[in-house]
């Protein structure tokens, strides 16, 4: 099943998304985003990480007691995220889907994160759909 453009799928087949936030500037990005996201977390929340990759943010948010859904259009990312959830013991739900067609009811989440989709969706109409 291909939910996204084949060029994006090919890009992620050639990169190591699992280690992206642990190398180079990745740790800085991760820690800074955690600070920014934490500003909006004052009680256990329902959070969706759209384009959540292999689950770095989902694991962190789950470890804080939030109810997290990770959505990603790359099957390999979903498999890696599911393994991360089981391995760490911080459960989060993983769904194969993409930003323009989320399998969630409207207004069902307290917070929605859209890191990756906003730089992959180049058309204004796609960004509005997301």
- Tens digits of residue pLDDT in 68-101: 999 999 999 999 999 999 999 999 999 999 999 9
Local structure of 81: helix, strand or coil: helix
Res. 7: pLDDT tops 80: no
Please name every residue paired with 96 in a beta bridge, in sequence order, or none if there are none: 72
Give the other-Cβ count within 10 Å of 78's Cβ: 21
48, β-bridge pairs:
69, 112
pTM of the model: 0.86
Q: Predicted confidence band at 128 (pLDDT cuts at 50, 70, 90)?
A: confident
């Amino acid at each position: 099943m291909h939910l996204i453009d084949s060029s994006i799928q090919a890009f992620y087949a050639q990169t190591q998304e699992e280690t992206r936030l642990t190398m180079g500037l990745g740790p800085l990005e991760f820690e800074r985003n955690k600070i920014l996201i934490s500003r909006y977390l004052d009680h256990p929340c329902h959070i969706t990480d759209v384009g959540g990759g292999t689950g770095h943010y989902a694991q962190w948010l789950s470890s804080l007691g939030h109810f997290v859904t990770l959505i990603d259009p790359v099957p390999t990312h979903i498999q890696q995220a599911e393994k991360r959830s089981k391995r760490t013991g911080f459960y989060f739900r993983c769904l194969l889907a993409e930003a323009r067609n989320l399998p969630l009811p409207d207004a069902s989440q307290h917070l929605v994160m859209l890191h990756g989709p906003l730089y992959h969706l180049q058309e204004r109409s796609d960004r509005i759909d997301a």
